Chains A and B, each alone.
Chain A
């Protein structure tokens, strides 16, 4: 079909970095209208954790569970976000029940869906969802469930110094993740955020943190005119170029929301 050659308004890319394997997983579902324009999209990203093959298993289960929820529905619906979260967590729990050696595995999860130019999401963990606005400012839309905001508050209050060894030990620890246990802390946005003022949405795992926020922003802005694919590629190239010896898995999904505004 001719439409196959049309540029999809999103692009996903993954690198392993310096890790032994890929523990990030992602998935994308989308629907076309009769003119073959994408009208709705669901983007899933999961950053697995927990020894051996566990991290990989947890993130893949989470992504598969979410895709199943979205694919089995009649239409995209923000209520599916809640289902996605519980389904992913339930399946992780079931999997641990069957194979005890997977105990301790877990994953972050971000599920983003765009309906009529509005973004809805559910997020657990520290995988950021950014919006580059029309003024080229970068905003993180979802909550960060790592210890970072907590530690930063403590730094601000004078309780802790950024040089304190505990800061670096604790900063990446998660306050919430899907581990099959009860998830008490999650960020569910079903009110929706209008994407009228949004140039690009960037979903990422925390491997992107190798770049400072300013560096990431500069790269995104410099490539913004060339579309989602160029932004995503430039970002992972920049991460690679940093040459960190401990570079974590990095996964990026860059979405151009304009396509979803005009049905």
Chain B
């Protein structure tokens, strides 16, 4: 992207940009080398998208004229996040919260220099072939509660953006670490939609409250129970293989679905499932109010059977199945994707084998969504969520298909964003209500309304409507390996 710092740029006299690791709405994270100590760090730049511009020559960041106040307020919050985290680190000195090395103010903006974590996202970790037993999932949960969230909450700070992408599992020891705090997220920039949140993992009070630069935080609706919701929703995803509905929908639908009692999840302890159910209660006061409460007492309103919670927190009494570092290195995480991996990936795209599953169907969209996945009971004893291994990532979009010109489905562009492994296998599904032509490097075919064909293709896919009028085609790509 043109507005990212190019490689070679020096930040804070000490850190040379190697490449961009990732970006979100409020910042860009770079992989950098400490030029004195010769080690790798991650540097996050405060760069709220849509609010700022960068001067091409000096790389100076300046806010748009109508965003000056909110930019500097956000910058202050960004730095406060850094100092708070550093203070928590200093006090508790643990490996479960990302280490802040220093912060820098220059180019009109601010930078947080953090340790570079060689690891993968918790959901990728759970979906990978590396492991993983129910016991290990429960251990990850307890460690995140006691060693990451509790110290943060004890410091009167909330993370506010717990989600799979913000929890990495270190390749070195298989332990979780929380990254990318969301303190400076909820600026009042949005006019009339609630799009700033991470819908599936944000608690309902986050939708209902707004942090403003001109107000103190005395009437903040959020609390430890907010992070508790998000962590529970994250583990719901890991357990079920699909994220929960967004919190407002769960509140309005009076969602009563529970994990506990689900026979397909019998390999988890009932106590753990109850904890997740309890943490995901839509109304804040129905949830555990603190981490201690969460871990100490199961919610009696959902109690069916209870088995004692294992006390072996972090003590590694269970035998783990994590493989040694060497084999884990090729597994990148979405947040911190290495540049070399990205370029490998680009090369990989050319040779990517795309499994083409062409389904032209008259079914309405709601009926073509993936059926709910259930874990086969015999497998469930030893493996967690085997059903999701087949669907690591999915992306779907609508394209308008012309009747005259070929329309590219821009497969490569999408695959790039999916940031998957270079030689991943993909399944492509196309849904339309009318017949259309499809062109690939292998040739051309005309689909019928009831056609169903399978094949493998290389390269881009082009579509054209056959009945003389443009139409819409729903494209869905799923990574299958």
Binding site for B on A (CB under 8 A): 49-51, 72, 79, 82-83, 86-87, 89-90, 94, 103-104, 106, 147, 149-151, 153-154, 157-160, 164-167, 169-170, 172-175, 177, 179, 182, 185, 188
Contacts and interface: CB of A to CB of B under 8 A. Distances in A.
Contacts of B364: 79, 82
Given A169-B210, A173-B194, A159 B398 contact: no
A103 B396 CA distance: 21
A157 B248 contact: no
Contacts of A177: 192-193
Nearest 6 Cβ contacts at the A-B interface: A150-B248, A157-B283, A166-B209, A49-B192, A174-B193, A169-B210
A170 B221 CA distance: 13
A90 B210 contact: no
Given A87-B472, A90-B472, A150-B248, A159 B283 contact: yes
Interface in B379-438: 396-400, 433
Nearest to A159: B284
Contacts, number: 93
Interface of B: 50, 190-194, 204-205, 207-210, 215, 219, 221, 246, 248-249, 251-252, 283-285, 364-366, 396-400, 433, 469, 472
Interface of B is mostly: mixed
Contact of B207 (A79, A87, A147, A179): A147
B249 A166 contact: no
B249 A185 contact: yes
A172 B192 contact: yes
A150 B193 contact: no
Contacts of B469: 72
A166 B285 contact: no
Contact of B252 (A79, A150, A159): A150
A169 B191 CA distance: 10
Contacts of B366: 188
Given A169-B210, A170-B208, A160 B191 contact: no
Given A82-B364, A147-B208, A159-B284, 7 more contacts: A50-B192, A90-B398, A147-B248, A150-B204, A170-B194, A170-B207, A182-B396
A147 B194 contact: yes
A83 to B, nearest CB: 8
28 contacts: A49-B193, A72-B469, A82-B365, A83-B433, A86-B398, A90-B400, A147-B207, A150-B207, A150-B208, A153-B252, A153-B283, A154-B251, A154-B283, A159-B283, A164-B219, A164-B221, A166-B209, A166-B210, A166-B221, A167-B208, A170-B194, A170-B207, A170-B208, A173-B190, A173-B193, A174-B194, A185-B249, A188-B366
A158 B207 contact: no
Nearest to A145: B248
Contacts of B284: 159
A149 B219 CA distance: 21
A79 B367 CA distance: 14
Contact of A182 (B246, B397, B399, B400): B397
Nearest to A94: B400
A147 B251 CA distance: 12
B221 A160 contact: yes
Contacts of B210: 166, 169-170
Given A94-B400, A153-B251, A157-B283, A166 B191 contact: no
A179 B193 contact: yes
Nearest to A164: B219
A57 to B, nearest CB: 15
